[in-house]
Amino acid sequence: MVSAGIYARISSDPDGTRLGVERQITDCEALASRLGWTVAEQYVDNDISAWSGKDRPEYRRMVDDLKNRGIDAIVVWHPDRLTRHPREFEELIALVEGIGDVRIETVTAGDYDLSTSAGRSVARIVGAIARKDSDDASTRLRRKHAELAAAGKVAGGGPRPFGYTEDRLQVVAEEAAVIREMATRVLAGDSQRSIAVDLNSRGIHTSQGNDWTPSGVKRVLMSTRISGRREYQGEFFDAVWPPIIPPEQSDRLRRKLGSRTPKDRRAPKRYLLTGGLLRCGRCDAPMIARPDVNSRRRYVCDSGPGHAGCGRMSALAEPLEQFIAEAVLYRLDTPEWPPPWSTPGHNRPSWPDSTTRSQTTKGCSMAWPPTTPTVRSAAPNG
């Protein structure tokens, strides 16, 4: 009988509801029961972000129990619950190798057989993807913002918005009049610059007491706030605060002043396979990010100063990343490894010829970490 430990973690729990953790545990228990495993122990780290590098006492206790053979399997909801640090993940792999015959099952991403190099490589790729998620603005934080937006509630700090009181819920009459004037003038063809100059000459200041700038005028007029709405990722919600101008006028202003809206999200990472994840199939050097002459995202093997590559390999990023993603998903979906298309004579997922320079490309390969380039199974050269 396999004796399993359930590990659950939620990275932010400001309300202290632990709902996220309860859900993880329920799903993990169901999975353990399907597998016929006994749940010997639960380990719950709450309100701690693995990415912040804080210690996770329950995770440490689980590792100790693994070492002492108090448990011989781990059930976790998603790989990103278990570890997000590549370094921490390598520790876990080393530990599993030392103990031998440790099973890791995830509710959402299948099982990891860390005793084989193929299983480890898949786990590393999934780990790298989880880390990327963590690098982005936190998914859970974004969900919280979406909930606030849908409820039309006030989000976050920053300076007092012009036209509204400090609590952002009441209209300041004299500032609202200025906003209506600005809106009318812009729609009549007045420039943002001339409006800023005029306001400053009349002694009218921003909410921070500063002079107006053309971009400051634009920022106020582009905001959905002044029309009593909230925007979240392209969707509009009625806000709890009163409008200063009607939504139709706001829409016309936003069209006139440009479709670009201020975004508080960070741009997504543009290259996913740098840092040694992707290696040249000719010389094994890590490939680096370098757009081609048409600004298309591309990975190259660089022989220039500071690089040890052969300089004879390049691949467009988009189809390559697509290919890697398909390979990962394939592995997560099936116990078969290596996949049949990694051996000659089998069809593999599409790898359009136009994506590589045929005269220089024999293929790229996945390896992680950079110091142990052992994994070659996902090579796209078929």
Cβ distance 38 to 1 under 8 Å?
yes
The H-or-E segment that residue 277 falls in is: none
Considering only residues 68 through 107, tell me which ones interact with Zn ion, judged by CB under 5 A. Answer: none
Task: Provide, rounded to whole angstroms, the least separation between the CB of residue 349 and Zn ion.
Answer: 24
Q: Is 276 in the site for Zn ion (CB under 5 A)?
A: no
Nearer to Zn ion by Cβ, of 44 and 283: the residue is: 283
Annotate each residue in 312-351 with x if it binds Zn ion (CB under 5 A) or - if it does not, as one string.
-x--------------------------------------
Q: Is 310 in the site for Zn ion (CB under 5 A)?
A: yes
Residue 182, class by beta-carbon neighbours within 10 Å (0-12 exposed, 13-18 middle, 19+ buried)?
Answer: buried
219, 282, 307, 362: which one contacts Zn ion (CB under 5 A)? Answer: 282
Considering only residues 135 through 164, tell me which ones interact with Zn ion, judged by CB under 5 A. Answer: none
Q: In what order do the strands lie in the sheet with 288-289?
A: 288-289, 298-300, 314-316
Here the tokens at position 97 are 């190798």
Which of these ranges, 62-70, 90-98, 116-124, 299-307, lies near Zn ion under the rule CB under 5 A? 299-307
Nearer to Zn ion by Cβ, of 280 and 375: the residue is: 280
- State how far Cα 236 lies from the chain centre: 23
Task: Provide, rounded to whole angstroms, the least separation between the CB of residue 310 and Zn ion.
Answer: 3
Q: Is 309 in the site for Zn ion (CB under 5 A)?
A: yes
Number of H helices, E strands in the chain: 11, 12
Task: Provide, rounded to whole angstroms, the least separation between the CB of residue 304 and Zn ion.
Answer: 12
Nearer to Zn ion by Cβ, of 222 and 278: the residue is: 278
Number of residues counted as binding Zn ion (CB under 5 A):
8
Task: Provide, rounded to whole angstroms, the least separation between the CB of residue 276 and Zn ion.
Answer: 13
Nearer to Zn ion by Cβ, of 126 and 313: the residue is: 313
Cβ distance 370 to 355 under 8 Å?
no
Distance, in Å, from the CA atom of 154 to the CA atom of 139, rounded to the nearest integer, reads: 19
Which of these ranges, 80-88, 190-198, 248-256, 308-316, lies near Zn ion under the rule CB under 5 A? 308-316
Nearer to Zn ion by Cβ, of 14 and 306: the residue is: 306
> Angle at the Cα of 139 (from 62 to 120), degrees rounded to 5?
45
99, 137, 283, 332: which one contacts Zn ion (CB under 5 A)? Answer: 283
Across 105-134, b (16+ Cβ under 10 Å) vs e yields bbbebbbbbbeeebbbbbbbbbbbbbbeeb
3-class SS letters over 61-81: HHHHHHHCCCCCEEEECCHHH
Q: Is 362 in the site for Zn ion (CB under 5 A)?
A: no
Nearer to Zn ion by Cβ, of 76 and 288: the residue is: 288
Q: Is 21 in the site for Zn ion (CB under 5 A)?
A: no
Which of these ranges, 150-158, 197-205, 218-226, 281-289, lies near Zn ion under the rule CB under 5 A? 281-289
Nearer to Zn ion by Cβ, of 9 and 298: the residue is: 298
- What are the beta bridge partners of residue 75? 6, 105
> Of the candidates 24, 9, 123, 95, which has an alpha carbon nearest to the alpha carbon of residue 59?
9
Distance, in Å, from the CA atom of 65 to the CA atom of 102, rounded to the nearest integer, reads: 12
Q: Is 290 in the site for Zn ion (CB under 5 A)?
A: no
Residue 317 corresponds to which amino acid?
A
Nearer to Zn ion by Cβ, of 282 and 297: the residue is: 282
Residues within the interface to Zn ion (CB under 5 A): 280, 282-283, 285, 301, 309-310, 313
